[in-house]
Structure 1
């Protein structure tokens, strides 16, 4: 009789992810098709395993001053307290206040892709976010400061040898705080994570990188708390313009 095994379950989750990414890389001939397939694999992982208070989609992010981010491969946002701004025929636009994390999904990591992901993350963090006081039975709580938005990159392979070495470290350290990548996964090799205490990156070889990334992301989202109370009227004002 076969018994359940937590190590085998976690290994199976990673093996399934790695196989899907490897198939996407090997089967699709066009670079855009490869990229879209890779993005879909990561999205399905997050859509399946993140708690339901979070939603993961390819989307643009907008703020109440009419500024838009670039299109982001994976936006993780609140679906419990925040509205969509627009959703039609595959185009999704979410308010900046609802965003917890943003990721770029690529076939392989290199300096160019790290720089590209840093720019995409910065385009979201630069947006304005409203926050209203929170009413309760005895009055109101002060407006909650916007939560830090996590940023990262997700790939199957690395163009560097070794894949988790000095070139990756140097690429991650470029740019300012608005561009910082907090975490990432190279599914065939391991993960990286930014440590704010030491202002440094930990490069983490893993046996099951995709599973380790998923659990680490859920942990970091837990510590992010809840997004602030959005000022819906700040968006509604555009109806008269």
Structure 2
């Protein structure tokens, strides 16, 4: 049997993502190009390592009442049970019911970026998510309450010293429940998450932050279960002239 090392495999995973983020940060001068490279690197990580039931893309989120979120850098959504995904002029639009998580991906974490991510999360959480009873062989399951949305922010470096100090904690806690950031990662320093049990943030400084973030996200997604059964008719109403909500 080959002499494999799980620790070595996980280290390689982190080293690969950190190299790509470092290149996006230091190897490109144009801010738009750098930002696009950062988004692409995090998207590649999630597309490669999340279970197949999840998809990750840059997208807008839309609800059955015709409301749209702001454009989100990374939307993690269900594809197995999503009846439709819209594409228009190369832009992706995902029904609110199908969304598990949203993230903003930037080069450097700051108070402005935290606030920006909170506002993006709010624009998604304000959308209506339908849920229908689920027929099964023995009867009907009650309509599932839509799972709480996971939201967060991703960066390579931090503009603060220390990275996970009072300034970050203050920035994370000033927003409303709709803008709550559940999970974040600064690849060069560590990751953090909101603990519902203590109603406080937990900060983990570590050398393999991207890997730790990925595993924490998967654990949180597991707790979400499956997306609710979408009310297709609520969206279909928009096909009928003058019948919109």
Give the TM-score of the pair, scaled to structure 2: 0.96
Q: Distance in 1 between matches of 2:128 and 2:192?
A: 28
Summarize deviations over 1:94-138 as a string: whole Å, max 9, x none: 100000000000000000000000000010010000000000112
Q: Offset of 1:88 from its aligned partner? A: 4.2
Matched ranges for 1:88-99 at <5 A: 88-99=88-99
Aligned to 2:200: 200
Could you list the runs of 5+ residues in structure 1 that have no partner in the other structure?
A: none
Q: Distance in 1 between matches of 2:34 and 2:235?
A: 37
Aligned to 1:127: 127
Query: Does the Cα contact within 8 Å between 1:84 and 1:93 map onto a contact in 2?
Result: no
Q: Distance in 1 between matches of 2:208 and 2:95?
A: 34
Greater shift, 42-51 or 78-87, is seen at: 78-87
Aligned to 1:217: 217
Q: Offset of 1:90 from its aligned partner? A: 3.0
Q: Distance in 1 between matches of 2:222 and 2:5?
A: 26
Aligned to 1:42: 42
Aligned to 1:226: 226
Q: Distance in 1 between matches of 2:80 and 2:163?
A: 38
Secondary structure at 1:20's aligned position in 2? helix
Q: Offset of 1:85 from its aligned partner? A: 3.6
Matched ranges for 1:76-225 at <5 A: 76-225=76-225
Secondary structure at 2:23's aligned position in 1? helix
Q: Distance in 1 between matches of 2:88 and 2:2?
A: 46
Q: Offset of 1:2 from its aligned partner? A: 7.1
Stretches of 4+ moved more than 6 A in 1? none
Secondary structure at 2:144's aligned position in 1? coil
Greater shift, 142-151 or 26-35, is seen at: 26-35
Q: Distance in 1 between matches of 2:224 and 2:150?
A: 9
Secondary structure at 1:58's aligned position in 2? strand
Aligned to 1:61: 61
Secondary structure at 1:25's aligned position in 2? helix
User: Does residue 5 of structure 2 align to residue 5 of structure 1?
Assistant: yes
Secondary structure at 1:41's aligned position in 2? helix
RMSD of the TM alignment (CA)? Answer: 1.2
Aligned to 1:15: 15
Secondary structure at 2:59's aligned position in 1? strand
Greater shift, 81-90 or 140-149, is seen at: 81-90
Number of residue pairs matched? Answer: 241
Q: Distance in 1 between matches of 2:25 and 2:137?
A: 55
